[in-house]
Amino acid sequence: MIPDTLIVPTEYVPSAIDIKRALLSYNKILLVTPTDRDVIPSRTFGIAMGLPPVMTWDMGPVQPMGKTARYDNDFDELASTLKDAIDQGVVEIISTYKEISPGSILFGTVGIEDYPLNPQAVFWIYRSMASDQALLDAVLHDRYLSSLTNKEDVLALALQGCGEGKINDIQELPLTDKYHEDAELRQAISRISYARLGSVVKYIGYCHEKNIVPVLPSEGYQKITNLLLQNSSSIIRQNVEPSDSFWVRLNRIQNVIHEDFVDTDALESLSIKEILKLRSKVWGKTFTAKEKLFESLREIALNTRNDDDFMNEATQQVKSYRAEAEELESEWKKVRLKLICEIGVVSTAAAPKFVGEITQIGNGMGSAELILVAGGVWFLQQVKEIGAQTIELQEREAKFRRGAGFGFTKSYPSLFRKQ
């Protein structure tokens, strides 16, 4: 089954090329409404602080993400462009929670049934990550942010939230260690980083619980997930006993990389209607085969103890998939599709040499909790005694099947889930 996807919001509206790429990769595309900008619903801030969900008040935004001045208009224009896809149910505009009026006081059980995540887990994972200078810096890598030369434009994107301040004996979030020459700009850049990290945590968790794939359109988001993947591998290597072959075997999946490339110029020239026509029976068969490939590779990784045996069996699975994929490559000549699936690290250097820019529509593997918990909280706090936690995470991971992007589908009992 081809998974659905959600395009993780940034300060600017997703580009048409992001949407077209997603339409060629996933079953259904979810776009987040412009009003859904906070890391957790503001009415759940008390719950995040550990208060029982019997009374809470809206203290205002927790850690909101700013948006460009034309964001709402640009989003409406994008929705108009996507009308055919929306009418067919291929694109849907959603919100992760219902809004209430600022300053409202709620009595009785706080209604957060519409929000599928555990706000306490989301908030404190976000706080942990936003306390690290390397992550604060990495998440800012973005072509749009780099293009801003007017200080006022930067300040307009930086929104204050109650989640960044001091909480009991826990200090307020640190400022970025850059831009010391301008205190106002330094604080603004820091708040943009906070909001971006909050967005990564929130939407990875949301996609994990909804069994869908997060698509990260910003270079900063991608850089963060790469860092977290490296961190999770490091913390597991340092703290898991060599005899715990579950993790050793599972991590071998990271050696299998799947990347799809198309000619960006050709993709941009096609209308949404033309893109939808590319979603043919052959497309469905090929991308379903890709999902089955990921599932079979995981089973091979867990059921073979010898690395050579894994490599041999995985290579055969990859060859079989590549043979099926040739039919789609032939059908998609107009966008010059090239499917690359190899054992070992593959990069854009291995991509076909197009005249114009190339667009990657690829997948890797991993799990949400392994990345956010092991790669974020455990690594950053330098946890040394994680034996019990890795056992618990292993039990959850045992139910994990397929990675979403870098892998967050197939929901299992989760710390993201409301208790």
Please check whether residue 168 lies inside any domain of the structure.
Answer: yes
Mean pLDDT of the chain: 75
Nearest to 222 by CA among 343, 371, 69: 371
How many of the other CB atoms lie within 10 Å of CB of 236?
Answer: 22
280 CB contacts (<8 Å, ≥6 apart)? 331
pLDDT in tens, 218-260: 888 888 877 776 666 665 566 555 545 565 666 666 666 666 6
pLDDT at residue 26 tops 80: yes
Please check whether residue 412 lies inside any domain of the structure.
Answer: no
Q: Which two tokens stand for residue 353?
A: 């040499």
Return the pLDDT at 42: 85
Please check whether residue 418 lies inside any domain of the structure.
Answer: no
Query: Per-residue pLDDT averaged across 284-288, rounded?
Result: 86
Please check whether residue 162 lies inside any domain of the structure.
Answer: yes
Q: Which of 107-111, 209-213, 287-291 has the lowest mean pLDDT?
A: 107-111
Q: How many domains in the chain?
A: 1
pLDDT in tens, 126-152: 998 899 898 899 999 988 898 998 999
Helix, strand, coil distribution of the chain in percent, nearest 5:
50, 10, 40
Return the pLDDT at 168: 84
pLDDT in tens, 71-104: 999 999 999 999 999 999 999 999 998 766 555 5
Please check whether residue 101 lies inside any domain of the structure.
Answer: yes
Please check whether residue 403 lies inside any domain of the structure.
Answer: no
Tell me the three state secondary structure of residue 213.
strand
Please check whether residue 408 lies inside any domain of the structure.
Answer: no
Nearest to 352 by CA among 267, 257, 262, 256: 262
Structural domain harbouring 180: 5-397
DSSP string computed for 290-348? HHHHHHHHHHHHHH--SHHHHHHHHHHHHHHHHHHHHHHHHHTGGGT-EEEEEES---G
Q: Whole-prediction pTM value?
A: 0.78
Q: Report residue 356's pLDDT band, with 50, 70 and 90 as the boundaries.
A: very low
Return the pLDDT at 258: 63
pLDDT in tens, 141-188: 988 898 998 999 999 999 999 999 998 888 999 999 888 789 999 999
What is the 8-class DSSP label of residue 355? S
Please check whether residue 409 lies inside any domain of the structure.
Answer: no
